[in-house]
Amino acid sequence: MTNAPSSSLPSDHQASLIDGKGFAAKMRQHIREDVLAFHEKHGVTPGLAVILVGNDPASEVYVRNKAVQTHHAGMRSFMHMLPENTSEAELLALIDRLNKDPEIHGILVQLPLPNGLDGRRVTNAILPEKDVDGLGEINAGRLAVGLPSLIPCTPLGCLLLLRDQLGDMKGQHAVIIGASNLVGKPMALLLLAEGCTVSIAHIHTRDTAALARQADILVVATGCRELVRGDWIKLGATVIDVGITRIKTDDGKTRLVGDVAFDEAVKVAGRITPVPGGVGPVTIACLLKNTLTAAKLQLEGNAE
């Protein structure tokens, strides 16, 4: 079987679902084994500190979920829940303590921060070798010039899913919709390093649909629910939907939707990630992976 999209599909075609949940479970199992081996070698358990400022309920759910999964992976989790009115000086002082603490191998500050706190300054205060979100300028710069680095968890997760699905991606046209520092830009660099021809669309792109139609691999991370319609997708393309928007349903409940109109896309794409159950679980598994990588960097000087 080739990775190239076909030129026509049967009328009852359904894309195969990329099972992010199952993939993440396998990743976590491998990480757990690696954490045990690391502990046997060094007598050290990797530790992850997560800092949340303010009391945004959605962020609290994310942070607690990260803590539970960190424990399940055999690592130590340290939660720092700070009040909304925390000053930047207090936050930087905490990061400084965690930077110096040998029990902490990874530090993550949940973004966005409340008004008045400079996310860039705070992120850059984390030591590069503990920057498990990969958002500091040193890690971002190293990724840009092709040096080993801690890679932001969401694009790393998308890359691992794509490698698992497609193997060699050389020569494929990857279109990324969204150009944030968190997802779109690092995704573009990672797929460039895989040998893809990469196009990036963003809010000012003139005809995003026309560009998307050229994609063998389409990664969408805009935060605009169901932006990508079925007729934006080339037959047989691989679609990775990063977007998450929580919407209210008629029965008063809520549900998550992606940036891709799933019911339309599934009739055209070759493979597609569902929302939920696609990129989300793999992102958290990548945070665990990065924490172990960071611990290896600190104790072994490399991440192998």
Give yes or no for residue 233 binding ligand NAD (CB under 6 A): no
Cβ(52)–Cβ(59) below 8 Å: yes
Residue by residue, DSSP assigns 92-135 as HHHHHHHHH-TT--EEEE-SSPPTTS-HHHHHHHS-GGGBTT--
| 240 part of the interface to ligand NAD, by CB under 6 A | no
Stretch that binds ligand NAD, among 21-29, 30-38, 88-96, 203-211 (CB under 6 A): 203-211
Catalytic option among 19, 34, 66, 165: 66
Residue 195 and residue 220 in contact, taking contact as beta carbons nearer than 8 Å: no
- Which pair of tokens denotes residue 224? 């605009």
Angle formed at CA 264 by CA 195 and CA 269, multiple of 5 degrees: 30
Q: What minimum distance in Å lies between the beta carbon of 185 and ligand NAD?
A: 8
> Rounded to an integer, what distance in angstroms lies between the CA atom of residue 220 and that of residue 240?
6
Judged by CB under 6 A, which of 113, 237, 280, 294 binds ligand NAD? 280
Q: Which residue in the set 29, 224, 247, 255 belongs to the binding site for ligand NAD (CB under 6 A)?
A: 224
Binding to ligand NAD in span 250-279, by CB under 6 A: 279
Q: Does 208 bind ligand NAD (CB under 6 A)?
A: yes
* 243 contacts ligand NAD (rule: CB under 6 A): yes
Residue 67's identity, in one-letter code, is A
Q: Does 98 bind ligand NAD (CB under 6 A)?
A: no
Which one of the listed residues 19, 34, 131, 133 is annotated catalytic? 133
**Nearer to ligand NAD (CB atom), residue 212 or residue 297:** 212
Contact 105, 295 (CB under 8 A): yes
Phi, psi values for residue 122, rounded to 5°: -65, -45
In angstroms, the CA 298 to CA 282 distance is 24
Of 89-97, 171-179, 248-256, 295-303: span binding ligand NAD (CB under 6 A):
171-179
14 part of the active site: no
185 is catalytic: no
Q: Counting contacts by CB under 6 A, is residue 110 touching ligand NAD? A: no
Q: Site for ligand NAD (CB under 6 A): which residue of 45, 180, 197, 199?
A: 180
Find all residues with CB under 8 Å of 127, minimum gap 6, and list them: 99, 107
Is 8 assigned to a binding site? no
Strands 76-82 and 197-201: unpaired
Tell me whether residue 178 is annotated as binding. yes
133 in active site: yes
Residue of minimal Cβ distance to ligand NAD: 180
Q: How far is the CB of 27 from ligand NAD (least distance, A)?
A: 14
Instruction: Return the number of the residue (54 or 296) whose C-beta is nearest ligand NAD.
Output: 54
Q: Which of residues 70-89 bind ligand NAD (CB under 6 A)?
A: none
244 appears as a binding residue in the annotation: yes
- Give the CA-trace dihedral at 67, 68, 73, 79, to 10 degrees: 20
Q: Determine whether the annotation assigns residue 93 to a binding site.
A: no
Instruction: Write phi, then psi, for 249 (nearest 5 degrees).
Output: -100, 170
Cβ contacts of 172 within 8 Å, gap of 6 or more: 3, 166, 196, 197, 216, 217
**Interface with ligand NAD, residue 134, by CB under 6 A:** no
Residue 196 near residue 217 (C-beta atoms within 8 A): yes
| Of the candidate residues 139, 238, 283, 298, the single one contacting ligand NAD (CB under 6 A) | 283
Residues placed in the known binding site for NADP(+) = 178-180, 203, 244
Report the interface residues with ligand NAD, using CB under 6 A.
154, 177-180, 182-184, 201-203, 205, 208, 221-224, 227, 242-245, 279-280, 283
